[in-house]
């Protein structure tokens, strides 16, 4: 449900951006930046497209970061499970060694009688 809502919202935002770009292109709206040394004329279409592309790049990097964080957490959980499993195995081995020692002692006492 959350992904569907995000997809619908993205389509709506993209549609609005494209409509604004089309309107500004048809009306040739420009923004003028006046500096002491130069004057820069920028069309709003160019500015909106640059902002849109930079937002898309930012979102892609954010998704990569989130997926790497999930992968790191899964590796961490897997390592913890392996560590617990190894501890359980070593505990089982110690218990079996103690049983063998007690049986050896009992056998040697039984043979002495």
Residues 100-109 have pLDDT tens digits of 999 888 888 8
- What integer pLDDT is reported at residue 25 of this predicted model? 67
Residues 34-65 have pLDDT tens digits of 666 666 666 666 777 777 788 888 888 888 88
In this predicted structure, the answer to whether residue 28 has a pLDDT above a threshold of 70 is no
Q: Is the pTM of this model over 0.85?
A: no
- What integer pLDDT is reported at residue 63 of this predicted model? 83
In this predicted structure, the answer to whether residue 99 has a pLDDT above a threshold of 70 is yes
Buried b (16+ CB within 10 A) or exposed e, 15-30: eeeeeebeebeeeeee
Please tell me which residue, 2 or 110, carries the higher pLDDT value: 110
In whole angstroms, give the CA distance from residue 15 to residue 9.
10
Closest Cα partner for 7 from 59, 64, 62?
A: 59
- What integer pLDDT is reported at residue 61 of this predicted model? 85
At 23, is the secondary structure helix, strand, or coil?
Answer: helix
In this predicted structure, the answer to whether residue 97 has a pLDDT above a threshold of 70 is yes
Give long-range contacts, CB 8 A cutoff, 24+ apart: 49-57: 49/21, 52/17
Closest Cα partner for 45 from 14, 24, 15?
A: 24
Token pair, residue 79, equals 């390592």
């Amino acid at each position: 449900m959350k992904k569907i809502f995000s997809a619908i919202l993205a389509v709506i935002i993209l549609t609005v951006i494209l409509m604004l770009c089309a309107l500004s292109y048809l009306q040739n709206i420009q923004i003028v930046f006046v500096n002491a040394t130069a004057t820069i004329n920028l069309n709003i279409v160019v500015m909106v497209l640059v902002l849109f592309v930079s937002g898309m790049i930012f979102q892609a990097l954010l998704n990569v970061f989130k997926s790497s964080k999930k992968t790191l957490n899964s590796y961490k959980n897997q390592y913890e499970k392996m560590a617990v499993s190894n501890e359980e195995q070593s505990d089982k081995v110690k218990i079996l060694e103690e049983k063998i020692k007690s049986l050896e002692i009992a056998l040697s006492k039984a043979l002495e009688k």
